[in-house]
Structure 1
């Protein structure tokens, strides 16, 4: 098992509650902190990412803007259903700059991770980048 960045693990965004054509969900995983996914208002907002294979995730790092409260859930099946709670975090407001937060997932095995933004500091929130400390479980 090699420690990898989330982009090298075949990551895809498979669900997003909002979709703005100028700021699509795929921007969260393109590795560029200047691009982003933006909500279209209202809470909760959520998105689900899928790994190419079962993956052990020790933590995720999220670069975001105006996110106040975030929950992370995991799934270990082939389809994105029946999620289990893993962690939640209250993020601090950072006026005029990105919020960078590392969230420990304690070595959770997952095929999918669901991120639920339950509240924000404004009507609209943005996620610029997701990365992870993760290891593929397939040899």
Structure 2
């Protein structure tokens, strides 16, 4: 699936610097735990469980899970990462330009994830409005098989 292959190598130091600068410019603190968790997400080849981040946070030393969870909450709230709720994993944002909604295509075969702009918002907003409902957040995750995995199982 285009975009679901292991994410391309990124300029991790540049991405971390940009995240720190954007956070400070917004009046937020950029802490070592936030930096480390984002680094691990950027270096990951796919979605990562929080406890895998805890284990990798400081090899050879114990890290308290709340430290990692607080960093993940911050990163997700500020558009640096996404929580894939259907698989309970996290990914670095493909386009970290601020908090935004996205659609995710998650392959059951290879585990790849494609992040796409949230094109369903107008339709879902209309559906909600037709029922007198005002949505405050969206989670759109489609699970299935990417073309590579679908072709391999055919």
Pairwise same-fold verdict (TM > 0.5): no
Richer in helix (by share): 2
Richer in strand (by share): 1
- TM class by smaller structure: under 0.3
TM-score (norm 1): 0.24
TM-score (norm 2): 0.22
